């Protein structure tokens, strides 16, 4: 049995889904539903997939060179950093970006997509 908040457990996935929806709603309320920063930040973590797509043997395995960028862009540390910076600078735009980024990561976790192993497969 896995302890804590994990995307491997049904309750962890449900919690991730709630966090993702809440972050998206908060970002839309703060910046507006059509805010370009919100939607750009919400898809930006998948730039690593574009980086890997030409050499990827399939969706399940990323090439080794793309694992670190993928894991970095899908790390909760990125939106936490953006939201912390927004709190310090009182920047609404940075807060909206952090919320969009957090929404992406949380929704990925809700659907069972987490970090990649060094060989490119999912954990």
**pLDDT per position as a tens digit, 19-39:** 999 999 999 999 999 999 999
Residue 53 within a domain: yes
Q: Measured between alpha carbons, how far is 15 from 36 in angstroms, rounded to an integer?
A: 26
How many domains is the chain partitioned into structurally? 1
Specify if 23 maps to a domain.
yes
Whether residue 1 is contained in a domain is answered as: no
Q: Is the pTM of this model over 0.95?
A: no
Contact status, residue 99 vs residue 105, Cβ threshold 8 Å? no
Tens-place pLDDT, residues 55-92: 766 667 888 899 999 999 999 999 999 999 999 999 99
Residue 21: inside a domain: yes
**CA proximity to 121, closest of 69, 61, 68:** 61
Listed in sequence order, the residues at least 6 apart from 15 whose beta carbon sits closer than 8 Å to its beta carbon are 5
């Amino acid at each position: 049995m896995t302890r804590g908040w994990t995307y491997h457990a049904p309750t962890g996935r449900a919690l991730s889904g709630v966090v993702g929806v809440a972050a998206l709603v908060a970002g839309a309320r703060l910046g507006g539903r059509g805010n370009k920063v919100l939607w750009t930040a919400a898809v930006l973590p998948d730039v690593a997939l574009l980086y890997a797509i030409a050499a990827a043997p399939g969706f399940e395995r990323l090439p080794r060179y793309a694992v670190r960028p993928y894991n970095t862009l899908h790390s909760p540390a990125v939106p936490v950093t953006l939201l912390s910076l927004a709190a310090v600078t009182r920047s609404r735009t940075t807060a909206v970006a952090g919320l969009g980024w957090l929404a992406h990561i949380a929704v990925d976790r809700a659907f069972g997509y987490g970090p990649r192993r060094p060989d490119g497969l999912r954990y």
